[in-house]
Structure 1
Amino acid sequence: MKLALLIFATVLTLAAPAAEAFRIEKDIAYLAPDRKEKADLYLPANSPAGARRPAVVIIHGGGWTGGDKGAAREINIGTNLALNGYVGLSINYELASTNKSEAKATWPQNLHDCMTAVRWLRKNAERLQVDPERIGVIGGSAGGHLAAMLAVLGDKDGLDPKGPYGEFSCRVKCAVDLYGPADLAGHHDISMLGKTRVEAPELYRAASPVTYVDKSDPPILILHGTADKTVDIAQSKLFAAKLKEAGAPHELVIVEGAPHTFHLQPKQRDLRPVVLGFFDKHLKAAR
């Protein structure tokens, strides 16, 4: 019994510094008052008075119909960001129903929600000690698609939201796309668009990151596993090829043996140096 208590006390002692290194504020209202979707804030525990920190919006996956800001991947990303001096904003956004009788198109409202999250960070920059010029985005799977859309669209007209905080930009300084589909016309029919590829090919093109690629895009890091059975790795290779063709800054990292849904610490490879190094280069070094 004494040995068990000693071991328990030792574990608590060892865990204490990590537990105190950041804090989480849950269920923040970042959208309009009539919206149920909320966000979780990951905050470094201490920051010198007057210091401004970089921030990253975290967008969950789930096929645009499911997923949550508090899923394992999103917690892993938010925790690693906060432990390394970033403010992380993990968001829920409008999801499409999987019930065909209740199906409705949620595009582009889901994208608008992600854009609003960036604007919310800028609106609250002083309170959160965030540098409004150093905001990035990361997302996995469907969230990777939305993160890529944020990057390639910027403030372009047409898909820019008309919701709250319209006086603030929704541009991001860099983006990380974890195995997100980049060409929806070459993916499969998607319920959030409300129509099939045959019925609305232009809609599928309009919802695809590859459509908007140009030289002015911010740096984009793309990661994809060779064992992904959900989103074909060809999607990420095509996205990288389009970015290269346009002369846009980008990196493509192929993770050997990694399946779909991996976070920053899959068993195949520790990706923290890659992802955090990318954010450090473009958000911490950029002053």
Structure 2
Amino acid sequence: MVSRWQLVLQWVRFEKRLELMMSSRDRIDPELMPLVEMSAEWSAATLPAQREALDAMGQAVGAIPLPDMTRAELRAIDGPDGAPPVQLLIMTPTASAGKMPAILHIHGGGFVAGSAQLYRPQLASLSAQLDAVIVSVNYRLAPETIFPGAIEDCFAALKWLFAQAEELGVDRERIVVAGESAGGGLAAALAILARDRGVGPLVAQMLAFPMLDDRTGSTRDAGDFVGEFVWTAADNKFGWSSLLGRSPGDNEVSPYAAPARCEDLSGLPPAFIAVGDLDLFLEENLEYARRLARAGVPIELKVYPGAVHGFMLVETSRAARLYAADQRAAYLRAFG
């Protein structure tokens, strides 16, 4: 006869096997493991240290000399009514002739951290490759500034870019919004806001694993094999709570905060969406792409196997190199 304790032991062993079967660790691209190993929890308690580390990284990156073909400029512009100025990092090719396309870039960081300076080398390289002006926005961060502070800062930057196109040598007919993670969500929201306020036209929205839906990981299950590493459901709830100033998932969230909430996606610019198949945002990105296509918006969707959130930070990895090539091709098509 099997004793009660033997049954308990069998059940514990079964649960352990089930836990191992449901883990995504064995599916991660080995080249991306350094990113996984260095990731940490995001919370109100860890945020000061996270910001300090990113600020130090930004200072180190800012000290790296840029290639001769690109120049960088920091400029402060008028912010939204009653708000402080918005700081922009502007990358301009030095050898360009004629009007250039432009990218309004929005950095990631879960709405609570990060800066344009962290992306300085990548933006300089992209500016030279595409012969394009890149304007990256240092928007106000949560939880100190809740919605709509960040998106209004980005909108102020977009209006300024259109208004100053002549001075910058920019072709107003070839302006794109782009971003990664929270910045990708802000870029998608900015495309909706620009459409609704009559600013544009934008020729494309370039979204890298965009943070689109406040319900993911809070009121909606994201699935068993995503979001286990780098950016988790708990991290996501913290990021959205910080932005909204309350718990995410209720029925009062604006589509200018969470683009997945937007009921009408028609009339938006063509979209390029890239995401890893182990990213917490996989399903919300797939669903947004489906809805864009249903609304008649041209969509290019790339899903990278074995890739976790932020995979492109491991620049030497195959996944990051594939993404860089796909992104560059999408930009070239958008710019004609």
TM-score of the aligned structures, taking structure 1 as reference length: 0.77
Q: Which residue of 2 aligns with 1:238?
A: 287
Q: Deviations over 1:109-145 (max 9, x none)?
A: 2111111111111121111110112110110110010
Please state how far the C-alpha of 1:208 moved relative to its aligned partner. 2.0
Name the Cα RMSD after superposition. Answer: 2.4
User: 2:253 matched to 1:203?
Assistant: yes
Q: State the AA in 1 paired with 2:290.
A: A
Aligned to 1:141: 181
Quickly say closer, same or farther: Cα 1:19–1:218, change in 2 above 3 A: same
Shift of 1:75: 3.4
The alpha-carbon distance between structure 1 residues 251 and 131, as it changes in their structure 2 partners (threshold 3 A), is same
Say which SS state the counterpart of residue 239 (structure 1) adopts. helix
1:248 deviates by 1.5
After superposition, the Cα gap between the structure-2 partners of 1:244 and 1:217, relative to the gap in structure 1 and judged at 3 Å, is same
> Are the structure 2 counterparts of residues 131 and 206 from structure 1 closer, same or farther at C-alpha, using a change threshold of 3 Å?
closer
Tell me which structure has the larger Cα radius of gyration. Answer: 2
- CA–CA distance in 2 between the matches of 1:226 and 1:20? 37
Once the two structures are TM-superposed, the CA of residue 226 in structure 1 deviates from its matched residue by 2.0
Match of 1:175 in 2: 205
TM-score (norm 2): 0.66
Cα displacement (A) at 1:268: 2.6
Check 1:237–1:122 CA distance in 2 against 1; reply closer, same or farther (3 A cut): same
Match of 2:215 among 151, 172, 185: 185
Does the 8 A contact of 1:42 with 1:88 survive in 2?
A: yes
Per the alignment, residue 156 of structure 1 pairs with 196
| Matched-pair contact (CA < 8 Å) for 1:118–1:172 | no
Rounded Cα–Cα distance in structure 2 between residues aligned with 1:68 and 1:78:
15
Q: Which runs of 5+ in 2 are unaligned?
A: 1-64, 219-236
| Partner Cα separation in structure 2 for residue 221 and residue 24 of structure 1 | 26
CA contact (8 A) 1:78 1:89 kept: no
Structure 1 position 58, deviation (Å): 0.9
Contact kept in structure 2, 1:58 and 1:89, CA below 8 Å: yes
Q: Would the alpha carbon gap of residues 37 and 223 (structure 1) be closer, same or farther in structure 2, given more than 3 Å must change?
A: same
The 8 Å contact of residues 173 and 201 in structure 2, kept in 1 or not, is answered as no
Q: Choose the corresponding residue for 1:277, options 329, 333, 336.
A: 329
Q: 1:125 to 1:240 in 2, by over 3 A?
A: same
- The alignment status of 1:130 with 2:170, answered yes or no, reads yes
- The residue number in structure 2 matching 1:115 is 155
Where do 5+ consecutive residues of structure 1 fail to align?
1-15, 98-102, 161-168
> Greater helix percent: which structure?
2
Deviations 1:162-190, CA, capped at 9 Å, x for gaps: xxxxxxx2552211111112222334442
Aligned to 2:125: 79
1:70 is aligned to 2:121 = no
- C-alpha separation in 2, matches of 1:156 and 1:149: 11
SS of aligned partner of 1:40: strand
